[in-house]
Amino acid sequence: NAGVTQTPKFQVLKTGQSMTLQCAQDMNHEYMSWYRQDPGMGLRLIHYSVGAGITDQGEVPNGYNVSRSTTEDFPLRLLSAAPSQTSVYFCATHAGTSGSYEQFFGPGTRLTVL
């Protein structure tokens, strides 16, 4: 099992460009989420999903869109990249209230916006 995978590992964008960060899991978890981690700080929740077709905003959702068409995939879209979005992005999954609360993180995507 691959667990949680993310692509790309690194990305450099120019201000105003758009892109999609991919996240996939083969753990059959209902709950998926995106966090960002700025240097020297803890992770902050961007968006999350409690199942296919259901998404909701986290603490810092502005500038990002998500969708959840399948259990396995939860892409994060940057609509118009800004330097303030330079960060490391982690996708995570967990089984939710029907199972363990333990969250499993992907390897991260390091994004730089110039």
Partner 1 sequence: GENVEQHPSTLSVQEGDSAVIKCTYSDSASNYFPWYKQELGKRPQLIIDIRSNVGEKKDQRIAVTLNKTAKHFSLHITETQPEDSAVYFCAASGMDAGNMLTFGGGTRLMVKP
Select 14 or 97, whichever has its Cβ closest to partner 1: 97
Single out the segment in contact with partner 1 by CB under 8 A; choices: 11-19, 46-54, 67-75, 76-84: 46-54
d(CA 82, CA 102) in angstroms, rounded, equals 32
| CB of residue 85 to partner 1, shortest distance in Å | 19
Q: Is residue 4 within 8 Å of residue 104, measured between CB atoms?
A: yes
Q: How far is the CB of 106 from partner 1 (least distance, A)?
A: 7
Could you tell me the CA-to-CA distances from 30 to 14, 15, 48, 110, 112 in Å, in that order?
34, 34, 11, 25, 30
Regarding 26 and contact with partner 1 (CB under 8 A), the answer is no
Which residues does residue 113 pair with via DSSP β-bridges, in sequence order?
A: 13
Closest CB 105 distance from partner 1, rounded Å: 4
- Torsion from C-alpha of 15, 20, 29, 107, nearest 10 degrees: -60
Site residues, partner 1 (CB under 8 A): 31, 33, 35, 40-45, 48-50, 56, 58-59, 90, 92, 94, 96-97, 101-103, 105-108
